Every structure is written in structure tokens, then in C-alpha cells.
Amino acid sequence: MSLLELKDVTKRFGGLQAVGHMTFAVEKGEIFGLIGPNGAGKTTVFNVVNGYYPPTEGQILFKGERIDALKPYDISRRGLARTFQVVKPLARLTVLENVMVSAFSRTDHRDEARAMALEATAFSEMEAWRDRTAGSLPLGMRKRLELARALAMKPEILLLDENFAGLNPAEVEKTIAIVRKIHESGVTILIIEHNMRVIMSISQRIVCMCYGEKIAEGTPQEVANDPSVIEAYLGAAHA
Ligand SMILES: Nc1ncnc2c1ncn2[C@@H]1O[C@H](COP(=O)(O)OP(=O)(O)O)[C@@H](O)[C@H]1O
Ligand SMILES: [Mg+2]
């Protein structure tokens, strides 16, 4: 049984098909990449997987059970957490408080939530930033806070939406190290990323989307050499 499975998932917004007949399965323990040009439907895949939107058609299974009719809160409680491409922390709360808010999805006890938040901020190497207000963080640290907030939910699978965008080279290296550390701790990862060096080096398998549909699936090497991927995505990216 796959950890996360999409079966023929379609999401339409009015007349626009953002995701069409998407089928793929993420196995426990994988780092699975999702790539494609802007507007391809990648974030919408995350939005239907985490229950933000119901799919128009198709099924989503997590640990073999249908989750496509559940709300985000129920889905995160089952062990699926995500980060957001556009980061939106609670600006006037501190880093630690922001992470505690996430931890409250897993516990009703303040002390326990605090302990989980301390652990998640340590794991994402934000100890020195815990008492800063989220609104005062530089972009790199705001992205890091997103990771810590997702980790505090103790996920079995973590969905990362462009966590590397806008980071400087040192921050990219640091974030790669943290993502690997999360993976080594037993968390399965589904990652959307435009930085080809990052996605090619950390993913075991990749799906490439274009206009909402899957155009290729395979190892990083297979996908990078696929003519349709080069034409739809890599060629344009290199141009
Ligand atoms: N809530 C929404 N309402 C209408 N259109 C949407 C909505 N969310 C996404 N879209 C559209 O769906 C398409 C895919 O968007 P998105 O999933 O954000 O792509 P990506 O993350 O690959 O850049 C785009 O054309 C986008 O404008
Ligand atoms: Mg997106």
C-alpha cells in the first residue's frame, strides 16, 4: 500500500482545469518531486491533497483510506502536513508562539504544545529566533518558520511548496540539510521546487506537470532527459 495515492484527480475552477486526471503514488520513505512551469497546477495538487479544496473528480488515499472528503484539520491530524508557497505567519506572534499554534493541532495541552514547538524550532535550527516576532523575520527565516510549523504537526508525510524560492545559496544549502534530516527522521516528503539542482539531487522520483496534466514520471535522470519535459519546462527554464 502506498502512503499517498492520487487516482485520476481533476480540479476545475469554473471553466479552467487546474489539475487533470492526475495519478501518482508516493511510497513511505520517499522524497518525491513535483515539477512543471508556473501555472501547471502543482500548488493546486497540494490544495486538494490537504483538503483545502475538494477534487472535482477522482480519489485521494492516505494510508489506504479515502481523505478527499475530509477537511484540512482532519487530514493534518492523520499525519499530513504542508508548507505554503506564500508564507503567512501570524506576524505579531513570536516564532515559538507561531509553532505552538501548529502543535495545538496535535495536543490540547499547553505544556505539550510548547515542548513540541521547542523541538520543531530546534530541529529547523531556529533556536536563536524563537522570541522574535514572525513579522520581523527576513524571508529566509520566514520560510524556515514554515518548515518548523509543519514539523510541529508531527507529520508522516510533509508537503513542501517552493521552500527554496528566494533563498540565497547559503540558505539553500542549509535548507537542503534540514530537509534531508527531516527525511532521515522517517518523514516521507512530497516537494514542489523550481531549483533543478535541489530537486534533482534530493528526489528519488519526480512527476512533471504541464497544463494540469502529468507529462512524465520517473527517476530524476529519466525525467530530465524526457523530450516532453525539456520542451515544456527545462527548455524554457534554460532559455
Ligand atoms: N482558487 C483558484 N481559483 C481560480 N483559479 C485558480 C485557483 N487556484 C489556482 N488557480 C489556477 O489554476 C492554475 C494552476 O495554478 P497553481 O496550482 O497555482 O500552479 P503552480 O503551482 O504549478 O504554479 C492557474 O491557472 C491558476 O491561475
Ligand atoms: Mg505554485
Per-10-residue mean pLDDT of the chain, 239 residues long, equals 98 97 98 97 98 98 98 94 85 96 93 97 97 96 95 96 94 96 97 94 97 97 95 73
Provide the pLDDT for residue 237: 55
Residue 43 has phi, psi (to 5 degrees) of: -65, -35
In one-letter notation, the amino acid at residue 153 is M
How many angstroms is it from 182 CA to the middle of ligand 2? 22
Please indicate whether residue 79, judged by its CB atom, sits closer than 6 Å to ligand 1: no
pTM of the model: 0.94
**Ramachandran region of residue 44, left (φ > 0), alpha (ψ -120 to 50) or beta?**
alpha
C-alpha 196: how far from chain center: 16
Provide the pLDDT for residue 239: 44
| Grid-cell match 530546534, residue found | 122
How many angstroms is it from 114 CA to the middle of ligand 2? 31
Atom of ligand 1 nearest to the CA of 37: 22
Name the closest ligand to CA 13: 1
Neighbours of 231 (CB within 10 A): 12
138-145: long-range pairs with CB below 8 Å, 24+: 139/166, 139/167, 140/166, 140/167, 140/168, 140/171, 142/87, 142/89, 143/83, 143/87, 143/167, 143/171, 143/175, 144/175, 144/178, 145/87, 145/89, 145/95, 145/98, 145/99
Q: Using CB atoms within 10 Å of the CB of residue 128, give its burial: 0 to 12 exposed, 13 to 18 middle, 19+ buried.
A: exposed
Cα separation, 220 vs 207, in Å, equals: 9
Provide the pLDDT for residue 234: 86
Record the cell numbers describing residue 47, joined without a space: 490544495
Q: Which domains does the chain have, with CATH numbers?
A: 1-78+190-239 (3.40.50.300)
Please indicate whether residue 40, judged by its CB atom, sits closer than 6 Å to ligand 1: yes
